[in-house]
Amino acid sequence: PILSTIETGMVNLRSFMKKNIYVSFALNLAIFLLMIFAISCELFDFHFMTDGTFLEKPDFSTFKYFTTDSNIFAGIVSGIFAIFELLVICKKKANLPKALFPLKLAGTIGVTLTMLVTVFYLAPKSDFGYFHLFKNANFFLHFFIPTLYLISFLIFERNDEISFKFTFISLIPTFVYVIFYTLNVLLHLENGKTTYDYDLYGFLDGGIGFAFFVLPFMLIFAYGISFVLWKINKNA
């Protein structure tokens, strides 16, 4: 009876994993396509929830925002993930490469940080109303893609392939952006003060001295997200 129970459990587990890869593939493909759509909307100033014009002059300044960069990175990772999942589904490969899972953790960190900062910091202080930052392309970039990413990573891509060290290593994309952001602000001060063109999120509105508090806090906050995501994925 014990062996029979164990064997039944293993069969159910294999069945569950087999179903998961189909759902994960669908989610990753959707994320990749939605990322392409959302970034295209931003580049061409296409508005589908409010009045706007289509095919205006592309504005490549969008790439200086963490929202854009984190979603592009996450979308590319999901696209790669979907390709390998399709190979497994078509039985061209036996398993997914282990390296994909730390990359997915890094992508999840980025878009989760994007969503949380928007929900709890940027949207409440917006002069145009809370939901202004969840319209048009930003509906996908600030909410929908991060939500799909969390669902795929925490429910349908659970595994033990991500070692603890990757909770630090997966922060590299976020760390690089924080360094870029800080240097960009410091190199473009006007009369010793920051400007909106470079302090994009107003993190240093209180003065340059805030950099010694705000930026380390962002990295610590990002690591907290990384650890929680890793823990849930591992133990779910």
156-199 pLDDT per residue, tens: 998 888 999 999 999 999 999 988 888 888 888 887 788 877 88
pLDDT of 55 over the 50 cut? no
The string of pLDDT tens digits covering residues 188-213 is 888 778 887 788 887 777 677 777 78
Q: At what angle do helices 211-235 and 100-117 cross, to 10 degrees?
A: 130
**pLDDT given at position 200:** 82
- The percent of the chain in helix, strand and coil, each rounded to the nearest 5, is 70, 0, 30
The reported pTM is 0.86
- Tell me 50's DSSP state: S
Q: Report in angstroms the alpha-carbon separations of 101 from 96, 97, 185, 186.
A: 9, 8, 33, 35
Local confidence band at 119 (pLDDT 50, 70, 90 cut-offs): very high
How far apart CA 160 and CA 149 sit, in angstroms, is 18
User: What does the pLDDT average to over 129-140?
Assistant: 91
Q: What is the mean pLDDT of residues 90-102?
A: 92
**CA proximity to 81, closest of 126, 10, 138, 29:** 29
Q: In the Cβ-directed half-sphere of 220, how many Cα atoms lie within 13 Å? A: 6
pLDDT band at 145; cut points 50, 70, 90: very high
